[in-house]
Structure 1
């Protein structure tokens, strides 16, 4: 499996690289700063610089899978009554627009691979059943990510390229915090299992990390 993962310097992205390398997969990864995990072919990439995405696509070669993992939690002030609107816009740009732009740029690589597929790392905080006012910029960016990737899935379905959203749960990372109930290594292995088994019947779906469907 030839796979590209974004945001691999820490957290879930780093854990997915380690899990992929352990399986003998050819793993490439992007990072804006920090150190890359061992065994990955690393590419410097700022997810806010869309004009560099074509250059990345020219470097990575054919791909079987892309996992769009890189993201930000958003500004410190992001309640509906006190919103950092510039921070909100940046959160949408990085968490929603950048994954779509990068997926578009990498489509030729996926078409050149074997059964190309796209997974986008979303969040349980995107679920519309939550009536919670905290971290609205982050929640909204992930809900919007779900919708744009669902649309991409519809467009790519005739080509046989599945696209799915992943809810990894509450993971013990810098973003999730030490109190989170899920180990990043366990979640990473589940996501890679799901990636390897993803079929066109699941395209456009919102899935738990182990591939079980969940509501939007």
Structure 2
């Protein structure tokens, strides 16, 4: 099988953004963890045998994962993306000796089904920024968290 040079983990479901603290939907919460934490790890493990030094694993995450996010709500989504960030930070540490680079990227507030027409940037601008960021990501930044435009993201 051909080697994998670049893997994008793009997994996201919005879940129940309107949920109140007192009525968390646990089935939706579990689904968010399954899709956004376990899913990317399963994909990585499936392709890892084909990844050599210099290969990159770019994980699309969210600003909602950051402890600096100033709003409440989005319990399942935020917790799952924070879990993804911590998980992939650990993976980055464990794969560093193999030379496999792991990145965490907030794609911006994008005009998609999830972001809506009023979001800040187009999918094309986000994708271009993500691609350019991935191309110049180096092993010394493995496990770091960046925005689509190349700015480092606070944890």
The TM-score by the shorter chain falls in which range?
A: over 0.9
In the other structure, the counterpart of 1:65 is: 6
Q: Choose between structure 1 and 2 for higher RCO, CA contacts under 8 A separated by at least 6 residues.
A: 2
In the other structure, the counterpart of 1:200 is: 139
1:191 aligns with 2:150: no
Contact 1:77-1:84 at 8 Å conserved across structures: no
In the other structure, the counterpart of 2:25 is: 84
1:166 aligns with 2:102: no
Tell me the C-alpha RMSD between the 2 structures: 1.5
After superposition, the C-alpha distances for 1:82-130 in whole angstroms (9 at most, x for unaligned) are 110011001110011110111111111222xx72110000001111122
TM-score of the superposed pair, with normalisation by structure 2: 0.93
Q: What's the CA shift for 1:70?
A: 2.4
In the other structure, the counterpart of 1:33 is: none
Q: How does 1:28-47 map to 2 (within 5 A)?
A: none
Unaligned runs of 5+ in 2: none
Unaligned runs of 5+ in 1: 1-57
Contact 1:78-1:88 at 8 Å conserved across structures: no
The number of aligned residues is 155
- Distance, in Å, in 1 between the alignment partners of 2:24 and 2:143 is 31
- Distance, in Å, in 1 between the alignment partners of 2:24 and 2:124 is 34
Q: What's the CA shift for 1:79?
A: 3.0
